[in-house]
């Protein structure tokens, strides 16, 4: 853990120029295609960020506030990624109880730590107070979602997507709407054709009629 914290300390100044995950973390996420495993990884990465913030707060060093700010920002983005993965899995009716349990465990532990930092009022707090507030609010919201019934979450995702779709359609010009309707019609026709072909392929084919008697072979 200490080695990993030291590595993060070294790369933190470049946080503004890179992704909110390290290169190694990105590789791990790419390899974890199963949603439960991906959620567990993100939860571990989130905990690592809070551990790093706690470590930074225990030291008086120049530039500390910038490192804390960037790390808290990464933490919030990781939680956003967790919610995105969970929403997508819930929409597909994938069982992610194990992954969400791991997320909830970490977030329950991190929320009081973040609140304690806020209540302790470090002397340089004003330089990362907004990022800290965002981290606390994001943790609370994500925890509520992690403990929510998956069926309700899937329904909420569907309703939100429908609302976004309607809002986008309301902004379309008549020409854009016609183009969208044409695309949807093509997709329906293609789906119907594929379904018809699949049904046809599944239908047993009759053998062509023959004048040969049972057991009799055609002469060459």
3-state SS, the chain, equals CHHHHHHHHHHHHHHHHCCCCCHHHHHHHHHCCCHHHHHHHHHHHHHHHHHHHHHHHCCCCCCHHHHHHHHHHHHHHHHHHHHHHHHHHHHCCCCCHHHHHHHHHHHHHHHHHHHHHHHHCCCCHHHCHHHHHHHHHHHHHHHHHHCCCHHHHHHHHHHHHHHHHHHHHHCCCHHHHHHHHHHHHHHHHHHHHHHHHHHHHHCCCCCCCCCCCCCCCCCC
Is position 50 within any domain? Answer: yes
**154 has a pLDDT exceeding 90:** no
Distance from the Cα of residue 123 to its chain's centroid: 35
Summarize the confidence of residues 9-20 as an average pLDDT: 50
Closest CA to 55 of 111, 18, 121, 7: 7
Name the percent of the chain lying above pLDDT 70: 75
Residue 118's domain comprises 2-169
Is position 155 within any domain? Answer: yes
What's residue 179's pLDDT?
75
- 145 pLDDT tier (thresholds 50, 70, 90): very high
Is position 162 within any domain? Answer: yes
**111 has a pLDDT exceeding 90:** yes
Is position 19 within any domain? Answer: yes
Higher per-residue confidence, 144 vs 182: 144
- 112 pLDDT tier (thresholds 50, 70, 90): very high
Is position 86 within any domain? Answer: yes
Closest CA to 77 of 15, 27, 4: 15
**52 has a pLDDT exceeding 90:** yes
- 115 pLDDT tier (thresholds 50, 70, 90): very high
What's residue 203's pLDDT?
65
Is position 199 within any domain? Answer: no
What's residue 166's pLDDT?
65
Is position 180 within any domain? Answer: no
What's residue 39's pLDDT?
97
What's residue 9's pLDDT?
44
What's residue 31's pLDDT?
95
pTM exceeding 0.85: no
* Total of domains in the chain: 1
**15 has a pLDDT exceeding 50:** no
What's residue 66's pLDDT?
96
- Calculate the average pLDDT of the chain: 82
116: left (phi over 0), alpha (psi -120 to 50) or beta: alpha
Is position 57 within any domain? Answer: yes
């Amino acid at each position: 853990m200490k080695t990993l914290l030291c590595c993060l300390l070294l790369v933190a100044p470049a946080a503004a120029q890179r992704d909110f995950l390290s290169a190694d973390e990105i590789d791990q996420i790419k390899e974890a295609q199963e949603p439960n495993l991906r959620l567990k990884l993100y939860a571990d990465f989130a905990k690592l960020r809070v551990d790093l913030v706690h470590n930074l707060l225990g030291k008086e060093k120049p530039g500390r506030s910038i490192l804390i700010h960037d790390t808290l920002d990464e933490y919030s983005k990781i939680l956003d990624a967790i919610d995105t993965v969970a929403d997508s899995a819930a929409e597909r009716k994938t069982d992610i109880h194990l992954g969400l349990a791991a997320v909830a465990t970490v977030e329950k532990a991190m929320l009081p730590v973040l609140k304690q930092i806020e209540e302790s009022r470090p002397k340089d707090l004003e330089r990362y107070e907004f990022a800290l507030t965002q981290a606390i609010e994001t943790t609370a919201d994500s925890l509520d979602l992690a403990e929510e019934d998956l069926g309700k979450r899937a329904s909420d995702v569907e309703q939100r997507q429908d609302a976004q779709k309607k809002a986008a359609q309301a902004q379309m010009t008549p020409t854009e709407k016609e183009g969208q309707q044409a695309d949807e019609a093509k997709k329906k026709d293609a789906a119907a054709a594929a379904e018809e072909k699949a049904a046809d392929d599944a239908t047993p084919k009759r053998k062509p009629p023959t004048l040969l008697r049972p057991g009799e072979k055609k002469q060459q």
